[in-house]
Amino acid sequence: MKLKNKVLILLKTQSLYFCGLILIFVVPLLLLFRYSPYQIPYIQYFVLGFLYLFQYMRFNEKNYRLQKSPLAKKHLTQEKGKIPSRSKINQRLNEMVEARGISLFFAGALIILLIVTFKKI
């Protein structure tokens, strides 16, 4: 599959999840670094660790696949104009799971960028 299509799938299926990660983890850390008069030791590592812990607490691949299967079928039907095969649906679900991991990676990268920017290493 082309990179352009993978990026579109990432934006279609995981944009809300990515925005949620940013609002829950990145923005509070940014506000804490920027405006807090208190120095909380190692808070940046706690937030980064909790981000990845949150992923494993909240994300069960089997349940996620069952939940997103109708959405994948709907997207494929809109793209192709016909009902997709089960293998195509599974392929799209694999791409959605991969996109979720990419969202998590980018949220972590933003936290690391904040750590470096505010020299909190």
* Among 54, 118, 74, 67, CA closest to 97: 67
Give the pLDDT mean for 68-81.
89
- So what's the pLDDT on residue 1? 59
Model pLDDT for residues 45-72, shown as the tens digit of each residue: 999 999 989 888 877 788 888 888 998 8
- CA-to-CA separations, 47 to 1, 35, 42, 112, 115, in angstroms, rounded: 34, 17, 9, 10, 11
Q: How far apart are CA 71 and CA 89, in angstroms?
A: 10
Burial of 6 (0-12, 13-18, 19+ CB in 10 A): middle
Model pLDDT for residues 8-23, shown as the tens digit of each residue: 877 888 889 899 999 9
- So what's the pLDDT on residue 113? 94
End-to-end CA, the chain: 39
- Domain locations along the chain: 3-117
